[in-house]
Amino acid sequence: MTLAQSAHKKAKALRPGARRPAKELCSECGLCDTYYIHYVKEACAFLNQQFPELETQTHGRDRDLDEPLEQYFGVHHDMMAARKLEPIEGAQWTGIVSSIAIAMLTQGHVEGVVCVQNTEEDRFQPKPVIATTPEEILAARVNKPTLSPNLSVLEQVEQSGMKRLLVIGVGCQIQALRAVEKELGLEKLYVLGTPCVDNVTRTGLQKFLETTSRSPETVVHYEFMQDFRVHFKHEDGSIEKVPFFGLKTNQLKDVFAPSCMSCFDYVNGLADIVVGYMGAPFGWQWITVRNERGQEMLDIVMDQLETQPVDSKGDRHAAVQQSIPAYDKGVTLPMWAAQLMGVVIERVGPKGLEYARFSIDSHFTRNYLYVKRNHPEKLEEHVPEFAKRIVGQYKLPE
Ligand code: FAD
Ligand code: SF4
């Protein structure tokens, strides 16, 4: 045992509900629920933004800001659209994430998988676990669209003596994980990420469902789709579509967690491989392979997938520029106008990677303004250089 390891073991996890070091910006990533809180000042994504250092540690180099694809999507050597030939029933999309995790476990590449199931009482209440069977991984499928303390199981990892681990997680969790990676006593760590944006507390989620869906209690999952509508899937299998432009932004302004309003790691830049959807055609998933561990994870499921190259069409800039004051002033269109605008934008609007850039730009400009207004003292250090360049393309209100 190294001196550093014995030092963190003396630290004490915070009790549930206690104020976290990042205060209101805490995303409840779970690190402070363990003795790894010892490293919080350096490790927390909201206290110490350190993308270039952690990218270099993880991928061997940081992102090339003069390379347009890397500036947006981070270090990578491959990107594609993909879907499972046999989709997993009940997964968020086609279940590529669960399939990779299952293959990594059953083929002996790892001994356990950190993922997040839900509690028995509430399908949206996250319950992080270290899965050691395919059934336990499958029980974690589908998004829990709430802040989830995935890293809260890290103490158990060390105690279990596991040496090869796969962690599934979103950007803020993975930033903290990378910062403490060397202290975990692992021989090999694989990280399978998803993009993440606009996450909410469990209470915030309830408000979002109640203000937006016709039947909040039967929603099984939802997604902000490339057709500029939120798709809610209900228990009976029906799909309800609500146009983005019809969202009650005035009521929803405070619904997103302050951590997510201050986040610039939408594409999960420190994962080995990232599986999302927004850079792919509708119905397909979007895979970004960042390094050789990510390639290894993709290779073992390739025979379960069909793939196609990513594409990019349209020009996002005008739509992003228009979204800035609309969000800022909390404008809500009447539903007929919102539906019409959705139809027009879907026809002529950005597609593929350009849609992904639309979503990144509109969230980064919103978040930049949020940090500037609410935490001006953090603005310079907290906003990474790639995000400053992205935001710099637009005219922002004061
Ligand atoms: P599945 O096989 O269903 O597996 C889902 C996995 O996600 C499970 O292993 C589970 O452990 C993990 N998970 C679920 N909830 C959480 C959570 N709260 N925190 C950490 N891990 C979790 N993709 C985009 O392209 N654009 C987006 O804007 C976007 N926003 C997202 C927001 C959130 C809150 C989340 C969790 C994901 C988001 N994604 C986004 C990713 C996308 O929705 C799918 O999760 C991804 O494409 C994988 O789909 P799948 O069918 O392969 O996953
Ligand atoms: Fe701790 Fe994570 Fe919250 Fe930061 S975001 S204060 S590391 S629990």
User: What would the pLDDT profile of 293-311 be if each residue is shown by its tens digit?
Assistant: 999 999 999 999 999 999 9
Tell me whether residue 363 is exposed, middle or buried, using C-beta atoms within 10 angstroms of its C-beta: 0 to 12, 13 to 18, 19 or more.
Answer: buried
**Residue 264, ligand 2, Cβ within 6 A:** no
Ligand 1: which residues within 6 Å by Cβ? 88, 91-98, 115-116, 126, 140-146, 148, 150, 168-170, 194-197, 199, 223-224, 275-278, 285-286
User: What would the pLDDT profile of 311-368 be if each residue is shown by its tens digit?
Assistant: 999 999 988 998 888 777 766 666 676 666 677 677 778 999 999 999 999 999 999 9
The pLDDT of 197-202, averaged and rounded, is 90
Q: Given ligand 2 and candidates 14, 31, 260, 265, which is best to mutate, with the most ligand atoms within 8 Å of its CB?
A: 31
Partnered with residue 192 across adjacent β-strands are 168, 273
**Residue 32, ligand 2, Cβ within 6 A:** yes
Per-residue pLDDT, 6: 66
CATH (residue range 3-199+260-310): 3.40.640
Identify the helix (H) or strand (E) that includes residue 371: helix 353-374
Per-residue pLDDT, 147: 96
**Residue 46, ligand 2, Cβ within 6 A:** yes
Q: Which of 171, 161, 172, 94 is nearest to 132 (CA)?
A: 161
**Ligand number nearest to the C-alpha of 20:** 2
**Residue 40, ligand 2, Cβ within 6 A:** yes
Tally of CA atoms within 13 A in the half-sphere of 293 that contains its CB: 21
For all residues of the chain together, what is the average pLDDT? 93
**Residue 257, ligand 2, Cβ within 6 A:** no
CA 294 distance to own-chain centroid: 17
Per-residue pLDDT, 213: 93
Residue bearing the CA closest to ligand 1, atom 34: 145
Angstrom distance (rounded) from CA 343 to CA 227:
8
pTM of the model: 0.94
- pLDDT tops 90 at residue 396: yes
> Which segment of 27-41, 109-123, 199-213 scores lowest on mean pLDDT?
199-213
Residue 163 backbone phi and psi in degrees, to 5: -115, -20
Q: Using DSSP, state whether 234 is helix, strand or coil.
A: strand
ipTM reported for the complex, 2 dp = 0.98
**Residue 272, ligand 2, Cβ within 6 A:** no
